[in-house]
Copies of this chain bind each other. A is one copy, B any other.
Amino acid sequence: MAANKEQFNDLGLGARASAGQFRSLNKDGSFNVTKANVPFFEHFNIFHTLISMSWSRFFGVILLGYFVLNLVFASVYTAIGLEHLTGIEHTTLAGDFLEAFFFSAQTITTLGYGRVAPMGLVANSVAAIESMVGLLTFALATGMLYGRFSKPSVRMRYSDHAVIAPYRDINGFMFRVINPQGDELLEVEVNVTLSMKRPGSELRDFHFLDLERKHIVFFPSVWTVVHPIDHTSPLHGVTETELMEKDAEFIVMLKAFNESFSQTVYSRSSYKPSEVRWGEKFAGIISYGTDGITVDVARIDESEKAALNA
């Protein structure tokens, strides 16, 4: 445990032996971290599960829940006896069950056509309970639906590659990021952490990179994030080959206030050495007109040769 304060233990990943090449943070912002042996009841969180599953799965869950609940209540009505539901069109046994099933659906949604209606204490009690259960469970379903819908998505567009480009009289590590969506991001803050294997060791160090600017007030356009490679930089004197050998990883976290959603949002990405172009600089993609500024988002990845400073 001889690491110094700046290098140690950021990300909660620890400065331990790494078996070889790996990527801790995927391009989409998810972590390559598995938690083993977590007791089920400790890690399972219904809300998290429901809010992060895919839309098709989510609607599947709702449909299934609706179907199963109706099945259960239809069985209860059948068990009680369908003579306690007025207006049933008696046909076959299956047909009777279907009548009970659809009566249940009309009850649980509080639709209540009334063609079929409960009679007597037991059927009425079940129907009264079912309509309450319906209100509560649909409140959860619609709450989750709106919760998913109104959850701020941060589809930041990062340049596919970073560059090592001339910067003033030294060089800099740079990447670009755009908010392609129409909503305004405010008070944007970026953090870049560099993870590298320690020379001649399998241990991994984490370094916060100093940035030319780590906070901007507005973010209407493109932002080129720059880490100047001065003599205090962990990249100082590091060559392209060394970066590969150290199995480096640039971990990016961006935080902003999304004005449409009135919420703080986070976005993450990472660059591996194979995604860093040495001796290139990003091409200009902003054009100014009398009526404002235009940013050509399609050209975010465009870079051109540029001789590095010594």
- Contact surface of A with B, Cβ cutoff 8 Å: 1-2, 5, 8-14, 16-25, 31-39, 42-49, 51-52, 62-63, 66, 70, 86, 89, 98, 102, 105-107, 109-115, 117-119, 121, 124-125, 127-128, 131-132, 134-136, 138-143, 145-147, 149-153, 155, 157, 166-168, 178, 180-184, 186-188, 191, 193, 212-213, 216-224, 251, 253, 255, 257, 259-266, 268, 284, 286, 288-299
Contact = CB atoms under 8 A, between A and B. Distances in A.
A26 to B, nearest CB: 9
A213 B4 CA distance: 11
A70 B127 CA distance: 14
Main secondary structure of the interface of A (DSSP, over half): mixed
Contacts of A18: 288
Contact of A286 (B2, B16, B119): B16
A30 to B, nearest CB: 9
Contacts of A62: 132, 136
Residue of A8, A141, A149, A193 contacting most chain B CB atoms (<10 Å): A149
A78 to B, nearest CB: 16
22 contacts: A9-B213, A11-B217, A14-B221, A21-B290, A36-B297, A36-B298, A42-B181, A43-B182, A46-B149, A48-B181, A52-B183, A66-B132, A102-B128, A105-B127, A109-B128, A109-B132, A109-B135, A112-B114, A113-B113, A135-B142, A139-B143, A191-B217
Given A48-B183, A106-B131, A113-B113, A257 B253 contact: no
Contacts of A167: 1
A220 B26 CA distance: 13
A32 B293 contact: yes
A5 B212 CA distance: 7
Nearest to A193: B217
Given A48-B181, A105-B127, A114-B115, 13 more contacts: A1-B166, A8-B213, A31-B292, A33-B220, A37-B299, A45-B260, A63-B132, A66-B132, A102-B127, A106-B127, A109-B132, A112-B112, A112-B114
A157 B37 CA distance: 13
Contacts of A153: 45
A116 to B, nearest CB: 8
Given A261-B47, A286-B16, A293 B34 contact: yes
Contacts of A1: 166-168
A292 B181 contact: no
B146 A253 contact: no
Given A22-B288, A51-B260, A181-B48, A217 B296 contact: no
Contact of A217 (B51, B70, B102, B253): B253
